Chains A and B, each alone.
Chain A
Amino acid sequence: MTTAKARTSLIRSGLMHLALIAYTALCLAPVVLIVINSMKSRAAIFSSPMSLPGPKTFDLIGFTTVINQGNFASYFSNSLIVTGTSIVAVLLFGAMAAFALSEYRFRGNTLMGLYLALGIMIPIRLGTIAILNIMVATRLVNTHLALILVYTAQGLPLAIFILSEFMHAVSSDLKNAARIDGLSEYAIFFKLVLPLTRPAIATVAVFTMIPIWNDLWFPLILAPGEATKTVTLGAQSFIGQYVTNWNAVLAALTLAILPVLVLYLAFSRQLIRGLTAGAVK
């Protein structure tokens, strides 16, 4: 009886691992396939796509083309500037607003919270036509600032929502003690509350970063110029242009994947902890 039970549980766990390994392979294989083929000669890409690059097939011609023909260095720096500045703005403004909403009771508090939460469900893309009109009128088309402003507005609702949850949890005894010591409300926020909510802020930073870095819509519409192209748009237009040059296409994709992969592996614990903690609430 017990051995039969143990055997069924062994079979069940074996089947489970089989299913999980199969699905994991389905997730990883396409990425691995692109990366290994980016380092092969054109003939090898077609004759043996599934094998690793060997001494005979190893060839970095694709990367040479990408580096010589594309502006990937400039695309990367554009993406870094836009994503970096937007995250700082979202976190700073978002944390300030979250603090105001969670710390003080004032008339219209709930209403303000609801107003700011609208953007969680309604995508900012629906206002694109008017956003472009604003950017044209203020001559901000093809500038980093246009993207930064839009992404800040896009990231704020969720950031405020998550951060107010966490700021509620900061002990009010601590804040009142600081008030008695004569600290201003600003000092309480910057010196006390902000450092205490650092883990939550890191989580929000990762959440905010992914959709901004990966966005194609707004760079395409607001900043399509060569000088302000982000990596996502740059890769899109480069690949579209070199579509028959398989070496270059595979190398461009690999260059677009690698930074995301490195960042993801570095921050995956943080991200997954944030995702799971957020859902429990």
Chain B
Amino acid sequence: MSDDEIAARPPRRWHIAVFLAPAVAVYTALMIVPLVDTLRLSLFTTVDNQSVFVGFTNFVTLFGDLRWSKSFWNALQNNVVFFIIHMMIQNPVGIALAAMLSVPRLKGRTFYRTAIFLPTMLSFVIVGFVWKLILSPIWGVAPGILGALGLKFLFGPWLGLESSALITLSLISVWQFVGIPMMLIYAALLAIPEEVIEAAELDGITGVGQFFKIKLPLVLPTVGIVSILTFVGNFNAFDLVYTAQGAMAGPNFSTDLLGTYLYRTFFGFQLQLGDQNMGATIATMMFLIILTGVMIYLFAIQTRMRRYQL
């Protein structure tokens, strides 16, 4: 190779590699490799401490063996209910709060904003126990408040009843996270150009009508982002159930989510031993569910909304 050719080649830019190396190394070693390895483990089983390839046998067990499939479908169904309650309550309440906060010249805006976002900052452990205490029939705070409103007959040990525990937990989680849709949608509302609003006012579209006809369609992309964030968060939720109801997700598994089911399967509980391959199988199913949701968002919802916005 002649000197000319070496000179003509651009110099190797090592600094790019240096800048990228630490992030890529940590991210690959602790995020991508474990994720791929977990997917791989779902195709193996452990016999006498030896990993043996078994193909899709674990999935056949998960869906075919009644002991497994019953728990899996129960957890999945609870997770779907958990998600639906978030979508039906957290997002509308968040949108309503954001709409009120974005009204021009609102007094006390900063105070409201700060206070409503506070629960989002607290850990699941705090939120779980705080509500567990408040709803406890032993302490009597919740029946006391309902009594003051003349609604005492409504009170029940909600977290302890199979029929109401999941809904109660979902509402506690909604209470904690309303701040996120509120804040993101509030920001999107503030970003709507002044001219659009002025044009609407000239056409006589004001107040509530203006919100539904002009503003809400313009912030739909943000509602989409909030929805996918909620979806991903809900389908790997664990902490709140573990704190409030324990790893058994009682009463009688009525609050079991995929996250708690994965935890119990992996670590074992009561008489059942922990099983890392079945745990990996459940983790793989969670991965597929989340991936499907993200794909639907990216390809179906986001592209359509962009077009709509134009």
Do the beta carbons of B124 and A214 come within 8 Å of each other?
Answer: yes
For the complex, give the distance between the alpha carbons of A133 and B37 in Å.
Answer: 10
CB 8 Å contact bits of A229-267 with B (1 = contact, 0 = none): 000110110010000001001100100110011001100
* Binary interface encoding of chain B residues 205-227 relative to chain A, with 1 for a CB under 8 A from any of its CBs, else 0: 00100000000000000100100
Bound CA span A13–B286, Å: 45
Q: Closest residue to A150 on the B side, CB-wise? A: B30
Q: Is A170 an interface residue (CB 8 A)?
A: no
Please determine whether B123 and A100 come into contact, CB atoms closer than 8 angstroms. Answer: no
Cα(A104)–Cα(B15), bound, Å: 10
Contacting A189 at CB < 8 Å: which of B19, B26, B30? B19
Q: A26: CB under 8 A from chain B?
A: yes
Contact status B125-A216, CB under 8 Å:
yes
- Determine chain B's interface SS by DSSP, over half rule: helix
Task: List the A residue with the shortest CB-CB distance to B119.
Answer: A27
Q: Does the CB pair B112–A24 fall under 8 Å? A: yes
Interface status of B290 (Cβ within 8 A of chain A): yes
Complex CA distance for A92 and B191, rounded to whole angstroms:
31
Q: Are A279 and B184 neighbours in the complex by a CB distance under 8 Å?
A: yes
A 15-27 binary contact with B (CB < 8 Å = 1; else 0): 0110110011011
The answer to whether A125 has its CB under 8 Å from any CB of chain B is: yes
Task: Give CA–CA (A112, B32) in the complex, Å.
Answer: 13
Within 8 A of A (CB), among B100-131: 100-101, 103, 106-108, 111-119, 121-126, 129-131
A150 and B35 alpha carbons, distance in the complex (Å): 12
Closest partner residue, chain B, to A49 (CB atom): B141
Task: Pick the residue among A46, A265, A272 that contacts B140 (CB under 8 A).
Answer: A46
B23, B27, B113, B130: the one within 8 Å of A31 (CB): B130
Please state if A213 and B130 are interface contacts (CB–CB under 8 Å). no
Residues of A within 8 A of B38 (CB): 126-130
Q: Write out, one digit per residue, whether chain B residues 221-254 have a CB within 8 A of any chain A CB (1) or not (0).
A: 0100100100010001011001100000000000
Q: Which residues of B contact A104 (CB under 8 A)?
A: 13, 16
Q: Assuming the A-B contacts A127-B38, A253-B130, are A122 and B30 also in contact, with contact meaning beta carbons closer than 8 angstroms in the complex?
A: no
Taking a contact as CB atoms under 8 Å apart, the answer to whether A276 and B124 are in contact is: no
Binds A, one of B60-68, B81-89, B276-284: B276-284
Given contacts A214-B123, A216-B243, contact A89 B134 (CB under 8 A): no
Min CB distance B222 to A, Å, is 6
Q: Which of B29, B119, B121, B187 contacts A210 (CB 8 A)?
A: B121
Interface: A153 (CB within 8 A): yes
Cβ B97 vs Cβ A26 within 8 A: no
Q: Per-residue 0/1 for B52-65: is the Cβ within 8 Å of any A Cβ (1 yes, 0 no)?
A: 00000000000000
Interface string of B1-28 (1 = CB under 8 A from A): 0000000000001011011101110110
For B262-293 the 0/1 string (1 means CB < 8 A from A) is 10001000000000100110010011001100
Q: Mark A142-156, 1 if CB is under 8 A from B, else 0.
A: 000000011011101
**Complex alpha-carbon distance, A253 and B124, angstroms:** 12
- Cα A119 to Cα B28 with chains together (Å): 10
**Known interface pairs A34-B133, A214-B123. Does A27 touch B116 (Cβ–Cβ under 8 Å)?**
yes
Could you tell me how many residues of chain B have their Cβ less than 8 Å away from some Cβ of chain A?
A: 84
- Tell whether A166 is near chain B: CB-to-CB under 8 Å: no
Which residues on the B side are within 8 Å of A195 (C-beta)?
Answer: none
With A116-B24, A124-B31, A279-B222 in contact, do A100 and B125 touch (Cβ < 8 Å)? Answer: no
Residues of B within 8 A of A150 (CB): 30
Give chain A residues whose Cβ lies under 8 Å from the Cβ of B286.
Answer: 126
Alpha-carbon gap, A133 to B141, bound state (A): 45
Known: A16-B103, A129-B280, A280-B191. A123 touches B236 (CB 8 A): yes
CB-CB under 8 A from A66, the residues of chain B are: none
Q: Which of these, B20, B37, B190, B222, contacts A97 with CB under 8 Å?
A: B20
CB B303 to nearest CB in A, in angstroms, measures 16
Check B159 for interface membership: any CB of A closer than 8 A: no
CB distance from B147 to the nearest CB of A (A): 12
A226 to B308, CA, bound (A): 55
Nearest CB in chain B to that of A214: its residue:
B123
Given known pairs A100-B20, A104-B13, A257-B122, the reply for A27 and B290 (CB within 8 Å) is: no
* Whole-angstrom distance between the Cβ of A164 and the nearest chain B Cβ: 11
19 A-B residue contacts at CB 8 Å? A23-B97, A27-B116, A93-B23, A97-B19, A122-B291, A123-B290, A127-B33, A127-B34, A127-B38, A129-B279, A131-B30, A149-B29, A184-B15, A189-B19, A213-B123, A217-B239, A236-B243, A257-B126, A265-B114
